[in-house]
Each structure stands twice: as C-alpha cells, then as structure tokens.
C-alpha cells in the first residue's frame, strides 16, 4: 500500500491532522509523519463535496430540462415554418448549455474531492488497523 504515502518525501505517511476546533468545517488536513518533511495535503470536507455534487446535479437537471424544452420549441417553429422568432429559443438553449458546462465542471470537482476523501479515509483506517503490520505482509 502506497496510496497514502507522502508524495513529496516518499518516506513519510500522511496522517489526519487535528486542527483547532474553530476551523474544522471547510477542509480536512493530512500531514506527513516524516518530521523533516511535514508536507500537508488538504482535502475538501464532506459538506463541500456533497453540496457541490447535489447542487450541480440538481442544476444540471434543470438546465437539461430547459434545453430540451427550448429545443422542442425551436423544432416546432422550424417544422411549422412559423413566423415566430427563433432567436429566443436559440438564446435560451445557449444559456442552458453554458450552465450545463459549468455545472458539469462543478460535478467533476465534487467527484474528484469525493475520491480524494475516500482515498485518505481508507488510508487513515489502514493506518489505525495495520499500524503494527510489516509492510511486506500487505497483499498488494
């Protein structure tokens, strides 16, 4: 197992770093166990990750709905050769596309944070339960 090995010095192990109680909400810090290194890695908190994923997912659904709705308006106007202006549906489709790209990016950031949290939480568990195991006994 080297997933939680410090990427900077490559000898230390990243351990959960307990901060002062007043600023534990937004981020969690892992710190290298090598006293000469003390490299820190910050991972986003569960609240940030969950809100990023939820808000981008809900926003994405809304933007996708708006896009499909305006697409059907646009198609109807074209099919009926209507005199109605196609500027508005095109404009709204463009706006919803911009939202979809932005929300997709937010979703990727949230999922990246989630995978980092999983990696470090798994590392922290391994460290607790296998603290006395020899490295060579790991079956990886």
Q: Does 13 bind Zn ion (CB under 5 A)?
A: no
Kindly write out the interface string for residues 19-38 of this chain, putting x where it contacts Zn ion by CB under 5 A and - elsewhere: -------------x-x--x-
* Minimum CB distance to Zn ion, residue 100 (Å): 40
Looking from the CA of 24 toward its CB, the CA atoms found within 13 Å total 7
Distance CA 136, CA 140 (A): 9
Q: Among 1, 5, 8, 102, which residue interacts with Zn ion (rule: CB under 5 A)?
A: 8
Report how far residue 120's alpha carbon sits from residue 6's, in angstroms, rounded to the nearest whole number.
11
- Of the candidates 9, 29, 50, 111, which one interacts with Zn ion according to CB under 5 A? 9
Distance CA 111, CA 115 (A): 6
Under the criterion CB under 5 A, does residue 41 sit at the interface with Zn ion?
A: no
Q: Which of 4, 6, 53, 120 binds Zn ion (CB under 5 A)?
A: 6
Query: Which 3-state string (H, E, C) describes 123-134?
Result: HHHHHHHCCCCC
Please provide residue 16's backbone torsions phi and psi, each rounded to the nearest 5 degrees.
-60, 135
Q: Is 5 in the site for Zn ion (CB under 5 A)?
A: no
Residue 117 interacts with Zn ion (CB under 5 A): yes or no: no
Task: Report the interface residues with Zn ion, using CB under 5 A.
Answer: 6, 8-9, 12, 32, 34, 37, 39
């Amino acid at each position: 197992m080297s997933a939680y090995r410090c990427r900077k010095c490559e000898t230390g192990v990243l351990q959960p770093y307990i901060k002062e109680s007043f600023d534990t909400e937004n981020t969690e810090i892992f710190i290298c166990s090598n006293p000469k290194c003390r490299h820190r890695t910050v991972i986003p908190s569960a609240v940030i990750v969950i809100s990023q994923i939820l808000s981008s997912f809900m926003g994405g659904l809304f933007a996708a709905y708006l896009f499909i709705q305006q697409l059907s308006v646009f198609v109807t106007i074209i099919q009926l050769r209507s005199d109605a202006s196609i500027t508005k549906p095109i404009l709204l489709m463009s706006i919803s596309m911009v939202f979809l790209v932005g929300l997709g990016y937010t979703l990727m950031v949230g999922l990246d944070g989630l995978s980092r949290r999983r990696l470090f939480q798994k590392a922290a568990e391994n460290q607790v339960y296998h603290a006395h195991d020899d490295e060579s006994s790991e079956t990886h």
